[in-house]
Structure 1
C-alpha cells in the first residue's frame, strides 16, 4: 500500500489509514510522506469501499512538527534548489487536494503541529485536537513564510488574529486552534485511541460525536480585542509601532517575537495573509516566495540557527524592516520562474 519507513498506509474496514512513522524526527513531512499520501488519497477517492480517511502519527510528542528542514538545508548547500522547489510543489499540491477531498478526512492533531504538519491536517474536513495539542505557524522565526496554505487558514481567523499568529508564531493550545479555525473537534487525549477505534469499527465520522467535548476557554478569544487594536496596521512597521506605544507586557512580548524573526519574512507574511482570498491564491503566493527563498531570503540561515547549529542566533540579510529593499519584496511577489504552478491538478 505504498508504505515506507516514514509512513504507514493501509486499509482497515472501510477506513483508509495513514500514519506518519518518523517519531524521532517529530514526524517531519518529507518527500516520501508527500508522495505516499497523495497516491493513497487518489486511490481511495475512487474506491467505493473506502468511507473515510484517518490520518495520525506515531509517538507522543508530535503529529508533525513541520517540513524536513534538514533535507532542504542540505539541498540548498549542495546547490540543488530545483529539488527543494519540486518538494514544495508536491507538498502544496497535496495540501490543495486535502482541502477539496470528496470524502471525510479526519486528522488527529495530537502533540506538536507546525508548518508542514498543519498542511496535512488543517485543510481536512474533520480536525481533532486534544488537551496535548500545540499548533503554530512559526515560519517567521526561521526565515520562511506561513506556507502549506497556512496564510489561507490565517486569513480566515477572527479579526486580525491571523496577522498576530503569523507574525509572532504564537502557540495555540487545542482550544485556541478551534477558536482560530485550525481545528473543529476537541477530544481528551485519554479517549483518543477509543475515538479512532470507533471510527475504524463504524466507518462513519458521526462516531466522533460520542467522544467530542466542549473545549476550555480560549486565551486567543480573551485577547481578541487587543489583537484587533494592535495588529490592524497597514504595514509591519505600523503594527510594531502600535505595540511599542501600547507598552503592555502582552504587547512587548508580541513585539519581541516579531523583532526576533526575519524582517523579509515578516513583510511577506503580512502580505500573504492579507492577500489569501482563496487557498489557490494563497498557495500561489507562498510558492512564489519559497521558490526564491533559498537564494534571496533568510531560510538557509534560519535553519542553520535553529536546526543545524542550534545557536538560535540567526544573522538575517537585513537588519530591520526598513532595510529590506523594495526590489526584493517585488521579486518575492512576482510570478514564479517558468510560470506559477497549478496546484489543483
Structure 2
C-alpha cells in the first residue's frame, strides 16, 4: 500500500505513514493494515517493540480521511461510517493494551485519528513542531479514538477545555495533558529510530528525552479550571462572559464556533468517565454511542459540509444560540443495545 509502509526492521515492527501531501490522513485501509500488522507482531518473538512514524515535516497524521464518510452519509448510507469507527476504535484499544512497547514519533499535526494511533502507546515522542489536538467539536463530532480517556485523565479541568475548544497543544502542553511522554528534538529522531530497530529497547527513548520548552497551558491552568469546572456548557460560557480577561475573550471564540451539541456531549462524556473510573474500553464505548448516531442525529454532516466540502465556515448547528436540551445529550449517549461496540479478547 503506497499510503503506509509496514515492515520488520531489526527487532522492531515498523509503521510509517507515507502520504505527506495529504498530511498523512488515515484511510480505512490504512487502519486495517496497522491492525493486522500489530496483531501479527504480538505473536512474533522476534519483534521486541513497535515504532510508528511518518514522512514529511507537516504532520504525523492530521486525522481520518473523512471524504468517504461524508459521501456515504449524505446518501443515507450510515453503515460505512459505523464500520470505520468500530474497527478504528478496536485498533485504538489494541494499541493501548499492547503487551510490547509502542513508540510513536509525532511531528507537526497529530489530530483526531492520528491521536488514536500515536497517543495510546507506551513511549510517545514530540518535538519542537508538534501540534496535537482533538478538533472534532468543530465538525459536529466528539473527541473520539480514545481521546476522551486522555481528556478525562488530564489534570484539573484541562480536558474539558481541550475537548470543547479544540485547542492545539505544543510539546509541553501535550505532555502536561497526558497525550505525550517525551520531548526529543527532531534532528535526533533518525539515529534514535535506527538504534531502536537495532536493540529493541524502548529505554533508549527515555534516555534521550530533554525538558520541553514551557507551553501555553501551564500558566493558564488556574483560569481553565475556574471556568471549565462549571456544570454545563451554558454555565461555562456565562462564567467566561462575566470575566473581561484576554483569556476569557480568546476562549469564547471557539465556544461560539463549535457545535453546541458536540460540546455539551463532550462535557457529559468526561464527567461520566471520571465518575465510572476512566478506562479505554469504557471511553471507546461511550464515543461509539455518539459516532454511531452521528450521521443522522448530530451536526456531523453539516460540520463536514461547512468546514471541508463547501468551505464556507458557516455551519448551521442545532441549538445554535440556545441551551442544549438535557434529553438531546442523553439521546446521543444512550446505550446502543445490540449495536454496542465490542472488542476481541486481549492478545496474550
- Please classify the TM superposition score into its range, dividing by the shorter chain length: over 0.9
Whether contact under 8 Å (1:264, 1:321) holds in the other structure is no
Which 5+ residue runs of structure 1 have no aligned equivalent?
A: none
Distance (Å, rounded) in 1 between the aligned partners of 2:25 and 2:113: 8
Alignment deviations for residues 245-282 of structure 1 (CA, whole Å, 9 cap, x no partner):
11211111111111100011011010112222221111
Shift of 1:338: 2.6
Are the aligned partners of 2:123 and 2:205 in contact in 1 as well (CA < 8 Å)?
Answer: no
Task: Give deviations 1:101-134, integer Å, cap 9, x for gaps.
Answer: 0000001111100011000111111100000100
| Count of residue pairs brought into register by the alignment | 341
Query: Residue 261 of structure 1 corresponds to which residue in structure 2?
Result: 258
State how far apart, in whole Å, the 2-side matches of 1:191 and 1:92 are.
32
> In structure 1, how many angstroms separate the alpha carbons of the residues matched to 2:321 and 2:82?
27
Q: For residue 296 of structure 1, what is the aligned residue in structure 2?
A: 297
Please point out which of 156, 169, 174 is paired with 2:171.
174
Report the alpha carbon displacement of residue 321 of structure 1 after superposing the two structures with TM. 4.3
Q: How many Å separate the matches in 1 of 2:117 and 2:155?
A: 22
TM-score (norm 1): 0.96
Q: Greater CA deviation, 334-343 or 117-126?
A: 334-343
Deviation string for 1:153-201 (max 9, x for gaps)?
A: 0011110000000010111001110111100010111211122122112
Task: Answer yes or no: is the 8 Å Cα contact 1:89–1:343 preserved in 2.
Answer: no
* Aligned pairs (5 A) from 1:44-83: 44-83=41-80
Q: Normalising by structure 2, what TM-score?
A: 0.95
Q: Which moved more, 1:92-101 or 1:191-200?
A: 191-200
Residues 1:232 and 2:229 aligned together: yes
More deviation, 51-60/313-322: 313-322
Q: What secondary structure does 2:159 align onto?
A: helix
| CA positional deviation for 1:344 | 4.7
What CA distance in whole angstroms lies between the structure 2 residues aligned with 1:40 and 1:220?
36
For 1:19-44, what per-residue CA distance to the aligned partner results, in whole angstroms no more than 9, with x for missing partners? 11221221112111111111101110
For 2:342, the equivalent position in structure 1 comes to 342
Aligned counterparts of 1:75 and 1:329: Cα–Cα separation in 2: 25
Distance 2:33 2:45 in 1: 20
Cα RMSD, aligned residues only: 1.3
Contact 2:295 / 2:301 at 8 angstroms: preserved in 1?
yes
Question: Which runs of at least 4 in structure 1 moved beyond 3 Å after TM superposition?
Answer: 324-327
The CA distance in 2 between the partners of 1:315 and 1:99, in whole Å, is 36
